[in-house]
Amino acid sequence: MSPVTRQRPSRLRELRRAAPFVLPFLLLFVVVYLVPAGYSVVQSFFAVKRSGLGLGGAETVFAGLGNYVRIFQDADFIAALGRVGFIGVVQVPVMLGIALVLALLLDSSVSRGRRFFRIAYFVPYGLPGVIAALVWSFLYAPTLSPITGFFASIGVDLSFVTDGALPFSIANILTWAWTGYNTILIFAALQAIPEETMEAAALDGCSGWKAALLIKVPLIRPALLLTLVFSIIGTAQLYNEPVTMKAVAPNLSSTYTPIMAAVRSLSANDFNYAAAQSVVLGALICVLSVLVFRASARSVT
């Protein structure tokens, strides 16, 4: 008991000392994140009621779970969730796999030109997402693409924008844009591994790829987990790439991803439904992130 009571005042003092550093962030976090999120949740329980032609204006009424019931009957929205789910399942492991291999290569003592590659990997991340998507759109456009043109000249009919090819074309843009970012995150974690650890491993006869896989990878678990969660969140929020690609792929539907569907509801002046769609997406991401963290914690013990 006594140590606890003795600790209390010092903790309070610590908090006080930390306050000026934490408060600005906390305030911004509350104002630009928690408040709008809370507002969306509140909005999602209401609905706008019009009558007749709608000329009389609208009144907002409490709708209970009405908007959520609508979501479960909304085939377009459910299809959108399925689509980003599929893209995530295919793309995230591929991207993180590549990122891990590149980071291990960068970290290995035999690698040359480390600085050059570190920057080179990072360049795609520096390009604004929309610009990257525009350039890729050009490479995918059936009539303009030099790639399609090349394959056509050797008699292969190739299209990147058929219904079946679209998820992979989008996944490719994501991989191109984000692999470097994840490489750097993983590389930073690798750099933090104490030299003695690797020396000890080497003394025990574990070196090269074996050491990398058996010693380094388990040690950077937290970083890998972080990149995994970031990637899941990023994929769930897919928007820029498909919207930009719509110009060259009219078969890409206007509710291709959950956020596109929510934006469409917003444009239809259906704010409350858009709020419910956003809340469902947010909740799914939350649950998914928690599950990933938990599953990994369990497998450690």
Partner 1 sequence: MLNRNARLTAAAAIAATGLALTGCSGTTGASTSGPVSLTFWGWAAGYEKSVALWNESHPGIQVKYEAITDGGAGGYDKMFTAAKAGTAPCLAQIGYETFASFLAAGLLQDVSEHAAPRRAEFPDWVWGNVGIDGKIFGVPVDTAPMGLFYRSDLFKSAKIEAPKTWEEFRTAAAAVKAADPKSRIMNLPTDPYLYAGFAWQGDAPWFGVSGDAWTVSMNSAANSKVAGYWQGLFDEDLVTSYPAFDAALYTAWNSGEVWAEVGPVWSASLIRDNAAGSAGKWAVAPMPRWDTADSVGNSGGSATAVMKGCANPKEATEFALWMSTDDKSVSNLIKSAAILPASASGLANPALDAPESYYGGQAIYQLFRAESAKVNPNWRWGPVMSTTASALGDGLGKVPAKSATFQDALNGAQTGTVSALQAQGFSVGK
User: Which residue in 3, 9, 57, 146 binds partner 1 (CB under 8 A)?
Assistant: 57
- Alpha helices, H only, 108-212: 114-126, 129-140, 146-153, 166-191, 195-203, 208-211
Give the nearest distance from C-beta 133 to partner 1 in angstroms. Answer: 15
User: What is the CB neighbour count within 10 angstroms for residue 278?
Assistant: 23
- Alpha helices, H only, the chain: 2-29, 35-44, 66-72, 75-107, 114-126, 129-140, 146-153, 166-191, 195-203, 208-211, 217-219, 221-236, 240-245, 258-267, 271-300
Task: Name which of 221, 225, 213, 222 is nearest 108 in CA terms.
Answer: 213
247 is a contact residue toward partner 1 (CB under 8 A) = yes
User: Which residue in 270, 279, 280, 281 binds partner 1 (CB under 8 A)?
Assistant: 270
Give the nearest distance from C-beta 124 to partner 1 in angstroms. Answer: 24
What tokens appear for 268 in the block?
Answer: 């239809």
Secondary structure tally for the chain: helices H, strands E: 15, 2
269 is a contact residue toward partner 1 (CB under 8 A) = yes
254 is a contact residue toward partner 1 (CB under 8 A) = yes
139 is a contact residue toward partner 1 (CB under 8 A) = no
User: Which residue in 2, 10, 143, 299 binds partner 1 (CB under 8 A)?
Assistant: 143
Give the nearest distance from C-beta 50 to partner 1 in angstroms. Answer: 4
Give the nearest distance from C-beta 278 to partner 1 in angstroms. Answer: 15
Phi and psi dihedrals of 196, rounded to 5? -60, -35
130 is a contact residue toward partner 1 (CB under 8 A) = no
Q: Which is nearer to partner 1, 107 or 270 (CB)?
A: 270
Give the nearest distance from C-beta 141 to partner 1 in angstroms. Answer: 7
* Separation of alpha carbons 20 and 28, rounded Å: 13
- How many residues of this chain bind partner 1 (CB under 8 A)? 45
Q: Which residue has the tokens 């959520």?
A: 68
State the binding string over 12-41 for partner 1 (x if CB under 8 A, else -).
----xx-xx--xx--xx--x----------
* Separation of alpha carbons 38 and 279, rounded Å: 10
| Contacts to partner 1 by CB under 8 A | 16-17, 19-20, 23-24, 27-28, 31, 47-58, 70, 141-144, 162-163, 247-255, 264, 266-271, 273
